[in-house]
Amino acid sequence: MVDVARFERAMSRTPRLRERLFSEDERRRDGVELPLRSLAGRFAAKEALIKALGDSDDITWHDMPVVSDPLGNPGFALHGTAATAVESRGIARIHLTMSHDAGLAIAFVVVED
């Protein structure tokens, strides 16, 4: 869970944080920059994935981009150390849901073997 106002303050204080946390493709949809509340949801998703994996194992933020399928359903496009961590744990499927309302962004991740 992410407090959207706090997330926005962090983004304002540290302008490069957006690029450190999210890939260019992750920050945009149809060429338009996503609103900060959507990025807060994506950050919550990445944090939820790390918790579901048990630890970060040197996973970088760019190794676990949040993507949408053609129907708009969220998921991850894992690569690098994130993909290696998932494979080494025998995880076959990752489920992700995200939402934002009332100043909070939340994400929930379930992994299956």
For range 11-17, the mean pLDDT: 94
How many residues make up the chain in this entry? 113
**Does the pLDDT value for residue 57 go beyond 80?**
no
Predicted local distance difference test score (pLDDT) of residue 61: 96
- pTM for this predicted structure: 0.93
DSSP states of 57-82: TT--GGGS-EEE-TTS-EEE---HHH
Predicted local distance difference test score (pLDDT) of residue 30: 80
pLDDT-derived band of residue 34, with 50, 70 and 90 as boundaries?
very high
For range 52-58, the mean pLDDT: 87
Q: Which domains does the chain have, with CATH numbers?
A: 2-112 (3.90.470.20)
Tokens of 74: 């969220």
Predicted local distance difference test score (pLDDT) of residue 93: 97
